[in-house]
Amino acid sequence: MMDRDRRLAALVSQLSEETQAIRVGLDRTPEREHSEPIFTTSSFVFPDAATMADAFVNNSGLSIYARVDNPTVDGFCKRLAILEGAEACEATASGMGAILSTLMAHCQAGDRVLMSTGVFGATLNLVKNFFIKYGLEIELLSPTDLGAWERALSRPAKLAYCETPSNPTIEIVDIQALSNLCRAHGCLFVVDNCFMTPVLQKPLALGADLVMHSATKYLDGQGRVLGGAVLGRAELVEPVTSFIRSGGVTMSAFNAWVFLKGLETLDIRMKAHSDNALELALPLVTLYQDHSPGFFSCVVSDALPLFLATVRDRMGMYVEAFFPCFVYYWHKRSRYK
């Protein structure tokens, strides 16, 4: 570790999140590179057999084989973990790879899984067409009906899964309330945070046990590569890591490097997305309100309080800007139903 990295490690917790997103991750190599290197190598060499044995047998921390670990991928994991406020992070080849690995690691035949109906189509396909074949019991529940989750949790359930806001239905789950319910019933609570990113919402701080990402979306933000991530307490991420290493759903070093660059601009991009959404949605709100008086107040009373309670306070500016996206969605939904 170079002096600069040692100083940085000591300072990390005092840096703003915007700065952490640029500075945290890989330690600089003796080549003194400015940007993180891409370690495009399938495996790693050792100076002698004893060092190699130490790495294989005692997990000394030296990289062994790129399906198991890679410094560029580790750098992406460290940076995202800091932003999500997670103890541990593991990266996958795609967002679906993260979801598959989490369910494989934490569930077994006979387990009951509660899943929001408002989740990405491939997630539903995965559980309905595949996990069911291997003996998981899946119960689908409305993301906004807390009473239904409470009733469902009165029978033992291994894992509860939701996405908020959902893709593409933009339904919002009260993360804090659902995590309280899950904790009271000893059920793992998993949240797909793909749409909000840690800039706008931190599910772990609201009580979730694990967070999923399709890094393919905003974390990259420029439509270049596929990737995913699982974050949470080390004891919950470790079994997922173990599945990824054996199952081979590993993120490539090149993709990890692209995501490292994506994270550097995440904060400023989310603000720009929000500002653009506001500009686009406000005229639509006005237009729709003219045609359907009462629409706006109905949306405000139904959706805004929950959204405000869920999204972290610091981002009031974003909250205001995202809200019109929901109005825009409801406008379209009622129009084209």
Ligand X SMILES: Cc1ncc(COP(=O)(O)O)c(C=O)c1O
Given the rule CB under 6 A, which residues bind ligand X?
94-96, 120, 122, 163, 167, 192, 194, 214, 216, 226, 228
Nearer to ligand X, 67 or 217 (CB): 217
Q: Which CB atom, from 91 or from 153, has the smaller least distance to ligand X?
A: 91
Q: Is 231 left (phi over 0), alpha (psi -120 to 50) or beta?
A: beta
Of all residues in this chain, which one has the CB nearest to ligand X in the complex?
95
Alpha helical stretches, state H, the chain: 3-11, 17-23, 49-58, 71-84, 95-106, 121-125, 146-153, 175-184, 197-200, 234-247, 253-264, 266-291, 295-310, 316-336
For ligand X, which is the closer residue by CB, 148 or 226?
Answer: 226
What's the min distance (Å) between Cβ of 151 and ligand X? 26
Instruction: Give 94 or 144: the residue with its C-beta nearer to ligand X.
Output: 94
CB of 210 to ligand X, least distance (A): 13
Encoding tokens for residue 246? 């054996």
> What is the chain's alpha carbon radius of gyration, rounded to the nearest angstrom?
21
Instruction: Give me the least distance between CB of 307 and ligand X, in Å please.
Output: 17
Question: Cα angle at 162 between 175 and 334, to 5 degrees?
Answer: 95
Length of the chain: 337
How many other β-carbons are positioned within 10 Å of the β-carbon of residue 29? Answer: 12
CB 165 within 8 A of CB 174: no
Q: Are 324 and 278 in contact (CB under 8 A)?
A: yes
Looking at the Cβ atoms of 185 and 198, the one nearer to ligand X is 198
Shortest reach from residue 223's CB to ligand X, in Å: 12
Which residue lies nearer to ligand X by CB, 118 or 185?
118
Q: Select 20 or 102, whichever has its Cβ closest to ligand X.
A: 102
- Scan for tokens 């009373």, then name that residue: 301
Least gap, CB of 63 to ligand X (angstroms): 25
22: phi then psi, degrees, rounded to nearest 5: -105, -35
Least separation in angstroms between CB 200 and ligand X: 14
Q: How far is the CB of 167 from ligand X (least distance, A)?
A: 4
